[in-house]
Structures are given as structure tokens and as C-alpha cells.
Amino acid sequence: MPQTLPDFSNSVKLKYVKLGYQYLVNHILYLLLVPIMVAILIEVLRLGPDEILNLWKSLHFDLVQILCSSFLIIFIATVYFMSKPRHVYLVDYACYKPPVTCRVPFATFMEHSRLILKNNPKSVEFQMRILERSGLGEETCLPPAIHYIPPTPTMEAARGEAELVIFSAMDSLLQKTGLKPKDIDILIVNCSLFSPTPSLSAMVINKYKLRSNIKSFNLSGMGCSAGLISIDLARDLLQVHPNSNAVVVSTEIITPNYYQGNERAMLLPNCLFRMGGAAILLSNRRRNRSRAKYRLVHVVRTHKGADDKAYRCVFEEEDKEGKVGISLSKDLMAIAGEALKSNITTIGPLVLPASEQLLFLMTLIGRKIFNPKWKPYIPDFKQAFEHFCIHAGGRAVIDELQKNLQLSAEHVEASRMTLHRFGNTSSSSLWYEMSYIEEKGRMKKGDRVWQIAFGSGFKCNSAVWKCNKTIKTTTDNPWSDCIDRYPVHIPEIVKL
């Protein structure tokens, strides 16, 4: 009994020590600058005005010198301001809400599975076990073509789903932002597994009658992290083109990729991937500065494709019967962890406060020089960010990241609840998570958000946003009818 009290008081002391250290290191500049300024002020006051005037006259400035120095100052200032990257603002975004009639409860999914895979009860059992532990809820949606017995994944159905999802998201975005289709200068559409000709971006241009000199891009095959790759591309384009609007559409079309074989590693995506999409408006126009929701601060992309194991861990291939599916390897989590470490190493110095970086540096030096057995210091990212949006790739991904980054349950709540309500919607899941945080009223001005996405390749991409204004809750978003029921407790295993 008496042993716990000293521990408690120790930990409190430790907390204050930590706080003191953080304040010291993070504000070192101010702490050094203030005494110097005070000293100068005292010196100036001591000298008195006459002395200062004499000092000034003794410097012997003539006109040429003054002009040159002022031109130099103006020149340096101009170069500095011109080379500063343009700020990219996220004006607003819209997520697609699937119709309630596309809902797939667990029981329906399992029954269909049984009817389609009637010769493979083991595969059905496997799917059932995955579904029980998946963290999905009873309201996730699949596109209409997958509801048929047997499913009819034709190209026409895939185009139908693409039109439904993308046009709904675009309509919603145009309505929310008041953007006119003629004002879109850059269009980027990313959809990994469905890539028809003409492309999905051409489909959008056709539907909304966009300008003929639009810069359109269609990214396919880049996996679940393609959303952030599109954002990165948009940012680069907005550096080159002043005064422009860029629309990014992130989605994943499920229809053509429903695996109809019975290879276990390939059945997993069937259980997790669901219908969803998002449309985002980015802009570098000054007039959008005041009404924009977020400002893009950093985008960090890490690619582990050079490693063979990482390259093959999410692989689309044919199974023994010639049916195409995406096979997930068993070391997916390990590779994801490696990719995350890589990404953190790059993003850490950009976002972490000086105190954390110093600690990390000290531990690193210590490990290299003194004792390799020292535990590596995991920087506390909770000090750099208020909100975390972890790609809802699956329960395991969220658990792994929560453990690695030492996040609390509230930090990962947005990810878990998005997985429960919408399933794994691939590249658009980050936007559903942002929407959740906003609808819960937690997004305040100045908050920093970290979006992390993993994707095939193996890639780990991050984006850092800073909230521009406190965001009020609205009614035209996918969470509007169910936000009050969340957060829900998601059991380890749901008994089917």
C-alpha cells in the first residue's frame, strides 16, 4: 500500500519536469531573445537621446549607401516572398452517402456468400470469421450489382456505380461551395481498381461540361493512399498555376473487383471494402482564404516498393482457377509498421516541437555511441496534432497504429467509427473521418490534423492540415442521421 503513493507522486513530479522541459525547449528563442532586448533597452535608456544622435551622426551614411542597402533589403524581401510556396487551402469537401437500400447486413452477406460459394464451406467459414472480427457495422453499403445472386460485375454496372458515387459527391461539393463548373481549373480523379477508357475524369468533364483548357488527371492503380497522392499532385499544380481551383475526387469502385473464387487471402477484400467516395475543393485564390476550412501544411510520401516483400504484399493476381483477386500477404502489418516508421522519420522534424526532436536526437546519439540497448524514443505526436485520421483499412491497421503512436481511444475514434459505419472505403475513408470529427464539434481554429494512409506498393502517405476556422456542425453530410448514435462500442467478436 505505501508503495503506490511514492510512485504516484513520482509520476506527478515527472509530469511537471516534462512540462517544464517542453516549455523551455519550445520557447528557447523567446527565452533568449527577451533578456537581450531588455539589455538593449536598458543600454538605450542609459545612453540618453543625445548620445544616440551623436552615435548616429558618426556613422557617416551617404545617399548611395543608403539607397543600395534599401534596394538590397527590398530585393531580398521580394525574393523571399516570391519563393515562398503558395498556400493551398481546402475550401470544402463532400462525402458520398450511399442510399439505405444498398445496405448489407452481416446475415445477408453471409447468406449470399453461402449461395455463391456453395461448394466451399471452408471459404464461407473463413469469411464469416473475418466479418465477425472486422469492426464493420450493419449499415455499410455495397453497390447494386453485388447484391444480385450471383453478382453481375459487368463494365456497365461498374460505370453505373462510378457515375452514382462520383456525380453525387460532385453535386454535393458544388452545392456546398457554390463553385461553378466553369471555374474548375484542375481536376484529379483517383480510383485504383477501375480504369475505363475514356477515364473517369473524362466522365466528370463530360457530365459537368467543364472547360476545354482544364488540366485533368486520372490516377489508377495507386491503392488506398491515392487520395493523398492526388492532394500532393494538386498542391504541386497549384504552385505552378496561380489563382486556380482544383477539384480532387477520391473513390473506389467495388463492382468489378468482387472476387468470385475461393482463395482465402483474396476473400478478405470482399469482406472489408465498401462503397464510398469524396470530392474535395482545393484552391490558392486569396479570396478563398477566409472561407476555407483548412490549409495544407505538409504532404509526406514514403514508398517502400524497392523492397520485394513490400512490393508483393498487396498483389492483384489470378488464382488457380483463373479468377482475378487481390491477395494480401501475411506480413502486411509488419510491412505497414516499417512504412510508418519511415514516414514518421521524415514527418517528425517537420511537425514535432523542438522538445520532442531534441529528446529523439539525444536518444539516437545515445544509442549509436553509448549503449545500443537503449529503447528508441517514440516521439509524442499528440503534441504535434490535435486530431488523427488513420485510414480505416481494417481493425488491425488501426490497432497497430494506436499502439505504435501511443494514441488514446479518443484519437482513433474517428477511424474506428468510420470503419463501423462505412466500412473500408479505400482512399475516401480519410474524408469520412474528417467529417466525423467536424460533426462531433471537435474541430477548432488552429487545430492540426494528421491524415495517414497506407496503400499497395507499399506506400505510406501523410498529410498535415491546419484548421482555418472553427467548423460548425451541419446537416448535409454522411453522418447527419447517425452521429448521435456514435461512438458505439465495437465488440472484439460479433456473434453471427
**Distance between CA atoms of residues 278 and 128, nearest Å:** 29
In the bound state with other proteins, the residue whose beta carbon lies nearer, of 113 and 451, is 113
Among 27, 103, 215, 341, binds other proteins (CB under 8 A): 103
In the bound state with other proteins, the residue whose beta carbon lies nearer, of 64 and 149, is 149
Cis link prior to 487 (omega < 30° from 0)? yes
Q: Report if residue 101 touches other proteins, rule: CB under 8 A.
A: yes
Q: Report if residue 107 touches other proteins, rule: CB under 8 A.
A: yes
Q: Are 464 and 441 in contact (CB under 8 A)?
A: no
> Rule CB under 8 A: which of 145-204 touch other proteins?
147-149, 152
Q: Report if residue 41 touches other proteins, rule: CB under 8 A.
A: no
CB of 104 to other proteins, least distance (A): 7
CB of 148 to other proteins, least distance (A): 5
Those residues whose C-beta lies under 8 Å from the C-beta of residue 11, and which sit 6 or more positions away, are: none
Residue 205 CB-half CA count within 13 A:
18
Q: Report if residue 104 touches other proteins, rule: CB under 8 A.
A: yes
Q: Catalytic: 298?
A: no
Among 97, 112, 235, 293, binds other proteins (CB under 8 A): 112
Closest listed residue to residue 97, CA positions, set 488, 482, 494: 482
Which range of residues in 80-88, 136-144, 202-210, 260-268 is near other proteins by CB under 8 A?
136-144
Which range of residues in 70-78, 133-141, 243-251, 293-301 is near other proteins by CB under 8 A?
133-141
In the bound state with other proteins, the residue whose beta carbon lies nearer, of 153 and 227, is 153
For 85, list phi and psi in degrees, rounded to 5. Answer: -65, 145
CB of 453 to other proteins, least distance (A): 29
Judged by DSSP in three states, 405 sits in helix
Q: Report if residue 114 touches other proteins, rule: CB under 8 A.
A: yes
Q: Catalytic: 112?
A: no
Q: Catalytic: 489?
A: no
In the bound state with other proteins, the residue whose beta carbon lies nearer, of 304 and 420, is 420
C-beta contacts of 177-180 below 8 A and 24+ residues apart: 177/91, 177/92, 177/281, 179/91, 179/245, 179/247, 179/281
Judged by DSSP in three states, 464 sits in strand
Which range of residues in 110-118, 221-229, 236-244, 461-469 is near other proteins by CB under 8 A?
110-118
Number of residues that bind other proteins (CB under 8 A): 21
Set of cell numbers at residue 409:
481511444
Closest listed residue to residue 177, CA positions, set 91, 286, 248: 91
CB of 105 to other proteins, least distance (A): 4
**Distance between CA atoms of residues 202 and 218, nearest Å:** 9
Q: Catalytic: 460?
A: no
- Catalytic residue, chosen from 224, 313, 389, 460, is 224
Among 138, 183, 380, 399, binds other proteins (CB under 8 A): 138
Those residues whose C-beta lies under 8 Å from the C-beta of residue 294, and which sit 6 or more positions away, are: 89, 90, 449, 465, 466, 467, 468
Cis link prior to 71 (omega < 30° from 0)? no
**Distance between CA atoms of residues 82 and 86, nearest Å:** 9
CB of 274 to other proteins, least distance (A): 15
Q: Which residues bind other proteins (CB under 8 A)?
A: 100-101, 103-108, 110-112, 114-115, 137-139, 147-149, 152, 496
Active site residues: 224, 303, 387, 391, 420, 424
